[in-house]
Chain A
Amino acid sequence: MIVENSDWLLVQRVQQGDNRAFDLLVLKYQNKLGSVVSRYIRDHDEIKDVVQDAFIKAYKALPNFRGESAFYTWVYRIAINTAKNYLMAKSRKVPQWDVAVEDAHSYDGSERLADTLTPENALATKQLEDQLYKAIAALPDDLKTALTLREFDGLSYEEIAIAMDTPIGTVRSRIFRARASVDQEIHHLSSKSA
């Protein structure tokens, strides 16, 4: 059975020779894969190297990807194996625990921070949480509701449209504007606190 979604449309485009579609997949998943890899490796530059390597491997293997699993699940496995191989090559201890592939979609970066709760991590987590809540609180109500329903309650656009009694196009627009505002506001708060 083929898992059909936006990713599968992009994968098909890459398989037909449109490399730009792969750029979109990288843009979509680079942060998520970075967070998964950061469960194994702490150094930011090393995480970037491993994520980069994982995407290169994925690109090379993509002609053989048949869509029997979701693209993210597939690339997630590649990233985990790349991280483990990286640690072995560096003669470092490879963790015995793993994030279940089935949980890949719902994996939340905050779990890692909870796992490695050093005082620095605890402080960074608390700061990011504070900044996030402040950024969301600063949003206009309609953007705040749309973003919250999507990011925290996991509702689809159609469900949000029904809940907010508004067209899907408006939901799309609100979620986009909310995300752009959150990023800008957190950036602003971070630079102020620095």
Chain B
Amino acid sequence: MTDPINESFSALLDNEANNMDIQRLLNAMDTHPEKMTDWKKVASGHSKCHQEQSFDVLSKVNEALYEQGEIDQLSIHQIENSDQIQSNVAANTSWFDRSKKWLGSATIAASVCAATVLAINSTVEDQTGQLNQNTIMATGNPIAIPIGQESLLIQQQLKEHYQQHSAQTSFGIPIEPSVDANTQNNE
């Protein structure tokens, strides 16, 4: 009975792995993360032949690189098979780091709220009444849209709003009514 994935890893230990072996191993890390446990045993068997001790630092290396921002995410193997890593990461994160993250989130949320209030006020105060307030209100839903996207949409709305008013003020160009405004007018 053959075991191509584990045989590829064994070949890797001997510098006998080719591109296909490496691709197979990389794929297996996603599709069969449990194989990495077998690989540690194969590597251990290889090391014992040379009277080397076994040292397992893979999880710690990944954890450290993740905490230092060197890698974007832990490997699937670690996420699925090592709940301890996640709890360690949480436990090792200092209260200062957690506070910084919370403050960052709070700042973003406050900015979004301020931008939304500003946009609504601008719209209400708009004497022309041609920018549809409902458009902004609809996009201001904090539950349906992630904060980053929401902020981007509001910024875009504000930008368009200011551009329209700048054009009107500078050149006396009439503002094009929005689709929603048309709909409302028709109604």
Report A's interface with B, CB cutoff 8 A: 5-7, 9-10, 13, 18-21, 23-24, 26-28, 30-35, 38, 44, 47-48, 51-52, 55-56, 59-60, 108-110, 113, 125, 128-129, 132, 135, 147, 150-152, 156-157, 169, 172-173, 175-176, 178-184, 186
Report B's interface with A, CB cutoff 8 A: 2-3, 6-7, 9-19, 21-22, 25-26, 29-30, 36, 38-58, 60-62, 64-65, 68, 70-71, 75, 77
Closest to B58 in A: A26
Chain B residues near A44: list those with CB within 8 A: 53, 55
Chain B residues near A184: list those with CB within 8 A: 41, 45
Chain B residues near A27: list those with CB within 8 A: 9, 36, 39-40, 43, 58
Closest to B3 in A: A176
Top 10 A-B residue pairs of the complex, sorted by shortest distance between their CB atoms? A179-B45, A34-B55, A183-B45, A176-B10, A109-B52, A31-B47, A6-B17, A151-B49, A35-B52, A110-B51
Distance of A52 Cα from B58 Cα, bound (Å): 8
Chain B residues near A172: list those with CB within 8 A: 7, 10-11, 16
Number of interchain pairs (Cβ within 8 Å): 169
Contact assessment for A28 and B13 in the assembled complex, using a CB-CB cutoff below 8 Å? yes
Closest to B2 in A: A173
Contact assessment for B26 and A13 in the assembled complex, using a CB-CB cutoff below 8 Å? yes
Least Cβ–Cβ distance between A17 and chain B, in angstroms: 10
Distance of A128 Cα from B48 Cα, bound (Å): 8
Instruction: Pull 10 A–B residue pairs with CB atoms less than 8 Å apart, ordered by A.
Output: A23-B62, A27-B9, A28-B43, A30-B58, A31-B47, A44-B55, A52-B57, A56-B70, A129-B51, A186-B48
Contact assessment for A19 and B53 in the assembled complex, using a CB-CB cutoff below 8 Å? no
Contacts A23-B62, A109-B53, A180-B6; A59 near B42 (Cβ below 8 A):
no
